[in-house]
Structures are given as structure tokens and as C-alpha cells.
Amino acid sequence: MSLIRSAVMAIVAVVAASGGVARASGPCSTPEHRQFDFWIGEWRVLTPDGVVAGINRIESLHGGCVIRERYATGRGYSGESLNTYDATRKVWHQTWTDSAGLLLLLEGGFDGDSMVLEGNRTAADGRIERQRITWTPNEDGTVRQHWQVAPPDGEWTTAFDGLYTRQAATPAP
């Protein structure tokens, strides 16, 4: 019985050390594949003035190869992204789509202390817009998401600035 208890305790320790997500070794177990793991969790997203913007559930899927985001405001807007590290190109990729018909294709990587993904989008009027989203983990366990938009040769402006705060079990958006 003591051998079984030791094995169970070892498994519990591995799961706890991985933030509650057991990961086997495999094609997506490299340090690069783990760079975005700080975003995994159940979050309440606040605007800079403290208003709840929505709830976001970020989870690791497919053996740690995919991070799925599910966002909802509770006021009719929702969206979802799939994120993966492309080891052959050494780049992170995100595909975002939402209930407003928006499709964003972003790519980038870990830059200093932040994940930075960028891409172009064609607006309804045909103009090209540059998109940049930066996720920065903070020492207190929160995460800042700063989404910026710019015309091809113009200045960046903030489209969204959210502070992710962890919450206990949340129903899926």
C-alpha cells in the first residue's frame, strides 16, 4: 500500500508543479511550447477603470500543443482563439474569430517578459490595419492584455486594454 501511495503522491506533485495540467513528454513539451502557459486559467477581465469586460477561459489541449481561448462579455459578444507554437518556423500563431465576424491571424513570439503577436487585417472599407496584441504576466499573478491597431504607416492606438485576474471555477463562456 505504501508503494501505491508513493506513486499517487508523485503524480500529484507533477500535476501541482505544472499548474494543475499534467504534461507528458512529447512533440509539444519544449520550453518554447510552454511560453504562453502563463495565460492558462479562468479569468475575469477588467478594463483600466475596473469594469468587468468579460470572462475568459484559457485551456491547454491536445497534449499541450494547443491553447484555446474562450471569451464572453455576458452582453452578447463572444470569441475564441486557437494558439500554437510552430516549431518548424519558430513562431507562435493565433487564429481569433468572434460573434462580430472578426477574423484575426496573428504571429510572433515571446519578447522579453511578454508574448507579442502581430498581423494585418483588411477593414470593411478595404483599408489595411496592423494589429498587435501583447500579453504580459505580472508579479501578482494577473496578466495584462494590450491590443493595439494602426494604419500601415501610422501610430499605434489602443483598441483594448484588459487586466486578467484569476477566478475560481467559472462556467465556460
Q: What is the mean pLDDT of residues 91-102?
A: 97
Asked whether the beta carbons of 132 and 117 are under 8 A apart, the reply is yes
**What's the pLDDT score for residue 169?**
55
Could you tell me which residues come within 8 angstroms of residue 47 by beta carbon, excluding any fewer than 6 positions away? 53, 161, 162, 163
Confidence at 26, pLDDT banded by 50, 70, 90:
confident
Is pLDDT larger for residue 142 or for residue 22?
142
Asked whether the beta carbons of 60 and 40 are under 8 A apart, the reply is yes
Q: Domains of the chain by range and CATH?
A: 28-166 (2.40.128.20)
Q: Cell 483600466 sits at which residue?
A: 48
Confidence at 2, pLDDT banded by 50, 70, 90:
very low
Which is nearest to 162 in space by CA: 152, 141, 147, 173?
Answer: 147
Which is nearest to 34 in space by CA: 108, 92, 121, 117?
Answer: 92
CA distance 79 to 58: 12
The amino acid present at 109, given as its one-letter code, is G
Q: What is the mean pLDDT of residues 141-168?
A: 95
Confidence at 24, pLDDT banded by 50, 70, 90:
low
Q: What is the mean pLDDT of residues 142-166?
A: 96
In tens, the pLDDT along 66-96 reads: 999 999 999 999 999 999 999 999 999 999 9
Question: Does 22 score more than 50 pLDDT?
Answer: no
**What's the pLDDT score for residue 11?**
40
Q: pTM, whole model, 2 decimals?
A: 0.81
Question: Does 3 score more than 70 pLDDT?
Answer: no
